[in-house]
A and B are shown apart, each in its own frame.
Chain A
Amino acid sequence: MGTVLQYLDQEPFRFLLSVGAILFLVLNLAAVFTMAERKTSAYIQLRYGPNRVGPRGLLQPAADVFKLFSKENLSPSRADLWIFLGAPIAMFIPAALVWLVVPFAPNAVIADLNVAIVFFIAVTSIGALGLIMAGYGSRSTFSLLGAMRGAAQMISYEVPLILSLLGVIMLSGSLSLVDVVNAQGGGFWHWYFLPQLPMFIVFYIAGIAEARRVPFDLPEGESEIVGGFMVEYSGMTWGLIQAAEFASMGLISAITATLFLGGWQPPIEALDFGNFNWIWFGLKTALLVFTFQWIRWSLPRLRMDQLMDFGWKILVPICLIWLFVTAGLMLLFPSVF
């Protein structure tokens, strides 16, 4: 047994195992989130939700995936096939890749990069590329409009997303997510959401926009541009886009939990479960995902001009002001921080 573990800790086995684990996690996450989404929406809307397939409807995601696999992948005859078929992959891979740097528990992180936060920003930006590819490659007016909206939205909201991270980086003095989590140890009053409350809210809002969820789902806008950039997709290509969307929703929640809610740190020291602290990480992420869905099913959609106004005129100034406040406080009271 010991020898097997020894082998598993060495390259290339470690690499293969990590990739397998991440793919397993992300693909299952998509299934779990679909189910959670449908149940949450049902209870908000006075319905029961899926309750026929399997015990209490729990096998519904499996049935959905089976249906998607059995459907034909249609592509428009005028579509640019390489771009059209490459887009779902270009959207899915970045959403799955960032999970590499997320610390799940004290010793459970696949790659402890010293620039993990930069890695997160850089890789999530690639998702916008996939969106533009999808919209442009399908050669449809609706998807073109969706892609235009998506590009504008994701680039604009990257700015508050990055700015709101800076406070955490300044407080922890590190770009590594493991260090950020370690710096928040010792009870929930050490978590960064307290000193960085405005930044926490801005990061979460910008994260919703980055994950293209209501009220920022303009690239999709199913009541105006009927699905936007993904209007021409069907079968598993569509499924992959959906999986990417759910993965990025989970990712934004996980990163928010890591940066502002102490990652796997327990709320009070007495509840420290050692290596089982992933339970805390999971709970925080699940709570944030639920908030995502709660917002999704309660609010109408913004309009493009209102979206831009909100991003540039409200979120960015809040970030800049709080950045100066944080920096000033750190200069004035160096002993506290």
Chain B
Amino acid sequence: MSDGVREPAIEVVGLTKSYPGGDAPVEAVRGIDLRVEAGQTYGFLGPNGAGKSTTIEMLCTIRNPTSGTARVAGFDVVRERTEVRRRIGLVFQQQTLDQQLTAEQNLRFHADLYGLPRAEADRRIGEVLEMVALADRRADTVLRFSGGMKRRLEIARGLVHAPKVLFLDEPTIGLDPQTRAAIWDYLHDLRRRTEITVFVTTHYMDEAEHCDRIGIMDHGEIVVEGTPEALKSGIGTDRIALRTDDDELAIARIRERLGVEAGVHEGQVTLAVPDGASVVPRLFTELDVHIRSVTVTRPSLDDVFLTYTGRTIRDSEGARAGAGRVMTR
């Protein structure tokens, strides 16, 4: 914007989507608000059927919202659909490559669809293939690629037209741990080099740790939103475990000075506090006991997910496997 204020990459206000149902319309998305700043990586989590895919499809202009507005890369997803499309890259959960064509032909097709001039397309195709380490396979038919290679190629394709926002719907589902790690390496590399905003859904909580911010969706609403750190500290307590020269004295001092009841578990003094990292320095200054080691265990995003949705993400993953979904419309 001309006033120099950074415009958010994604701005959603009161977005809803309902489908005609048997008795009453089924509300897949129930009035969500969402703001993703430019350059951020935003993790969008939720159990199966929470409304994530519908939301992402509305943001990508594939579906029209029932009500509410959404702006992506500065344009309205309904009224300025083409402008939005020119500025977003998409990597779907379901594979969308033409397997009969070569890697390069797939990218070329994409560049042409997005109207890139020939020279620009050549340069970009070379760059993105280099980035996902497929430059030496550019002339190979996609049919011969492994699942991980196809996924990398799709990410490369999503970047060919230099989008401002990259949407990734479960980019690592069904991939082995090394490939998953490699894909996140590409995404980190991408963020370092460009100002791209990344909007990603994932079922892997360890991957959500890579995100700047996380939103958890359930029953069509965003139930909680924030940085991974804030979310984890928001749900309660860290566990601190100490090895000391005098455990009895340590426990007494902790009770006096910190007002916290500690106990001995597995040969260590353990206590639960809201913010472990800020308590550690006080332990050293206020306990007149020699401390040999300290470990602070933070709650994981799995704990966060469980707290807000009442399910573990793996419960919902089990449900996913049984649900045959038609992705393309």
Are chains A and B native binding partners rather than an unrelated pairing?
no
